Chains A and B, each alone.
Chain A
């Protein structure tokens, strides 16, 4: 909403500068986004009187003019315009002047002739023909205003208004008007509002001779009012009206159209003017559109309607989409003679849906959407007619059509002074509160507050508290510290997640954040078969694009995207992790199961399978999750079938890790090996049972035995270790694999594995016998699975 300060001053006696006004209005609830002084960019442009015009000697299309600009001597200006004649008054941008759009004018030579500035067109001054209808668009602006040479052009053209831009919240559609903001300004500055209800003289005759109105859909049109103006004289509106429209950001068109726009800006009520000629049968019916009914709207587009939409129709066809836009052939034209002014109240949600469905949000629809009250119809209609009479552009026919099915019960709230004071933490008297409310247009009957019709947002005592608070000033409300009990606890789960993050950082992985929505194609990229259950995702019905159209059921493609991007950006290596959600649809439930995953992704910096496995092991160790089995996994489509393991704890899968399948790497165009791990946070958290307990430091020395073993190449190392642990028993403190060898020294399809065993007793010194026994038992267990001591 752009507010003309000149216009505002019609209704409130204040003369603040724009900054003070902006601050005070913002603090009382009408947020100012900024302000602009008209013609601020125009400097050193004055009125010039053309004294002579002679052809340029070296040019066919240039002329050399002597122009009187209020200085001691006339100045010479060269121009290519053909409409300059001696005696004309023109705007002259002198040497060193500026024009809108940052244009700077300096003196120079044009084909050898000195030119001391420039004569300006409408466009060069940031104006249009709408602002000065007598001027032409392509030529110098020949002034018809009262003026003298040397006078500042801004003064002559009325370019001295300040336009203040407001951000109006959706609960205050009444402030989308000059009067609404004037009312706020009056309350803010504690001055009275100057507003006189419009009075129309009329010219006799009777509206019934011209028009009949019928409302078939009172649910969508609670009130429809109309008046008729005859003997209309279409022409430009007066300069003051054009200036105000311009300052409000509306282009002047002609007097009748300008009046509808002017009153809409002034009072906030959308209004429409029809040419009676095109209303067949002189009869208006407000009805639901028929299925597939069409209308060509003012913008020349044919629109297809449906019965959820409301139209204004004559006996033959729809002439307007109610509250949205008029039809092409019913608007005001140069030769219009009789005009119907419409001032109606339409159902907000219906207008909103219609505008949305037709893809045409207009100034009118935007206002109706917010919920206008039927009580604003008569005043706006009368105001239009008053202006018609003032401007002398037509005769207002007596009589008003008013089809009124609206409920006029005002909103009321009980005034609870004590409650408001307590709620806000202030101490105002009843009188102070009442004064504030009255200044905003509220009335009081005893303790009952009656909201003015234009306030759609008053239903509860909290709403009254806000009115009181904002006019009193939020800044005057004291600050206090809350009393009462407060815990401020970090839950065990939150602590667990912190530990996860901290551990990953210490392991050298940086945290990443990826989008939770992905493209269905991402499942192809990670090689999921067409019938894979993970393809059943939560689907966004109105996505921005395919890339962000479904909620991921796996974090793997997000991680792969990130790694691919880093690889493409030529980062030589990248280790990272994300703690993020997956969204798994649940049969019979409206909401999916949102499962948090720790996803690890590595490439480069010597990462290999055992790097990512080591990270998982370290993580399990930090979380004190023991006895997790790493089992070979050969059937996960994303992973290398020979380099992938699932993590199982007590038979439950808690994660997966491994090298990415070369085919998937190809899909992402990554030229290096990539390692991934995905661990389910809830499963990890549930597995984390062990308490942290101190174990006494050993008192007795340890013995070390090394074992070099030979076994079948295919035998998983985990089984070898299991056998050693089972055999050596509890004196085995530590078991460490230090070498694996395949080659000539051992048989084909065999491998040699070497372990170091640290043996220790908690309650005494180990004897050689103890150690020998333990090793012997271990070897026996190993023998059972075909592992022998290497000779």
Chain B
């Protein structure tokens, strides 16, 4: 792993850790939700960015993590930290299972995108219908501030926790990207047959990617549940999260270490700015941030290969010349 990839990211996260000193509560809430999406996007990045398997259904993992923590606490009295660990493990398991079924059937490209979307929708419909998940009414986690319950009286503490997790995943991603697994993921993305000829077990590599990806995105779901203390099927398994993590990665630079974090912050920042700007003129307009997200996705694909990170790299190379 090279320091050049990680240091700017760690510095950025360190800077954000100082936010509670200056920022309002509303700003901290905004930062928290952006960072949770960033974490989920870091998960997407391993599968969609490095391994090149575009998933349209990462809500399947996010929701599994969120529901696992909530249900374990509410129905079985499990400690929230243990719930987090189990949620992450379940995310990996769901990822592995979806991967096993679809990669064994040799689904790739659009077919893989569609099948992941369908899996997420199935989970959403089920969560909406069954009592275990609270049905359409959703689940309310009891408010019980205390470190043991993974709830904190101050926003700042939770922000620092989320920042620490994002930083840990950043280091993990850099470590993977610089080593054998990273090389194999990219090889499978670029040319699966050539990779197989060089001794890469493509199925196992992709399964590793989707399990890891599912675990990380599930962790984001767990933290989401602990932060907002409320869930329903359209939040946990809704298409919004599948779409936001994908756009964050593409915008920030999919297949780069720092891309998902930069992308998520930029995306949410732009969305918030658009909402505020328009609210001044026309009052609150629903969906306007999403119009912007969609437009940014198209523009990033059209003009920014490898997203903001790729653009920065090209600019740096241009300056060096």
Binding partners A and B: no
Interface set of A (CB-CB < 8 Å, partner B): none
